[in-house]
Amino acid sequence: MHINEANIANLTGLWKKYNSQVIKSSLLTEVHVNIHWPHRCWFDWDNLSREEILQTLQPNVGKNTLLENVPVSAVIPVWPMMGIANGDECSGLFEQQLLDNQWGCAFEQTAMYLVLKETREYLALEQAELQVKTVLTQDDVGEWVDIASDAFAYSINGDVIERLIDDKDIKILLGCHNEQAVASALLYKTDDIIGIHQVGVRQSFQGKGIARWFMQNIIETCAQWQGEYIVLQASHAGKSLYDSLGFKAQFLIKNYQIV
């Protein structure tokens, strides 16, 4: 699997673990949706030919088929359609369908990756006041959810995170400052790919270098977990940090919401 496809497979695989559902559609593609946080709704184009995708995305298909059962609270991500000829044309048609039906691009992310090496160059300098803790209990989940909700300024469903504590392919981490939890992260491993998700620092602790220290420790954790690649989806605010840590940009993800 190409690293671009692996990035999306890791991301959508995590959304499925967040208890997504397949909603009914009269079209050829499956439509997946998280009814609760993170409210993502994505279309599975992988098993369709270019001709079938173009048929699905014809302008006259309209709202009553393509978007008929999509919740109004949904966030619909659009990324390049990979593995088909003229995938950019198909993605463009999909975006136009969204725009024609009152969906607007609310925010963008940059898909990025890092090749891990068998060295300890990623390990952050040890700092007595900073530690990393694994989420193991309901109380830990409560702290994690509170921090991530504060960092991203939206409400995260704690029940979704609690279900993942015992998942062997997931590590849920807290970054602590003087034993106070102040940063969140979630790692999801698919084969030799490790996705880094929900990296956030409590707003009152931002600007103190904690995010860089935490990311360096996260990268070291990924190396110890025997991953070969790390993937993530960077916000505009976070991209410069990931650039400085050696991550390479792959493609843009545009996230649409009802306007």
Does residue 237 lie in a domain region? no
Task: Say if residue 128's pLDDT is above 70.
Answer: no
The model's pLDDT over 138-197, given as tens digits with 9 standing for 90+, comes to 999 999 999 999 999 999 999 999 999 999 999 999 999 999 999 999 999 999 999 999
Is residue 62 predicted with pLDDT exceeding 50? no
Please tell me whether residues 66 and 98 are part of one structural domain: yes
Q: In this predicted structure, what is the pLDDT of residue 48?
A: 81
Domain interval for residue 147: 117-227
Which pLDDT score is estimated for 87? 79
Cα(93)–Cα(114) distance, rounded to whole angstroms? Answer: 31
pTM over 0.85: yes
* 90 and 142 fall within a common domain: no
Same domain as 151, residue 89: no
Instruction: Indicate whether 119 pLDDT > 50.
Output: no
Which tokens go with 240? Answer: 């410069």
Number of domain units in the chain: 2
48 and 70 fall within a common domain: yes
pLDDT, mean over the chain: 90
Query: Residue 38: what pLDDT?
Result: 96
Is the same domain home to 138 and 36? no
Read out DSSP for 103-144? EEEEEEEEEEEEE--SSSTTPPPP-TTEEEEE--SHHHHHHH
Hey, which of 1-15, 109-123, 126-140 has the most confident mean pLDDT? 1-15
Task: Output the CA angle 21-22-25, nearest 5 degrees.
Answer: 145
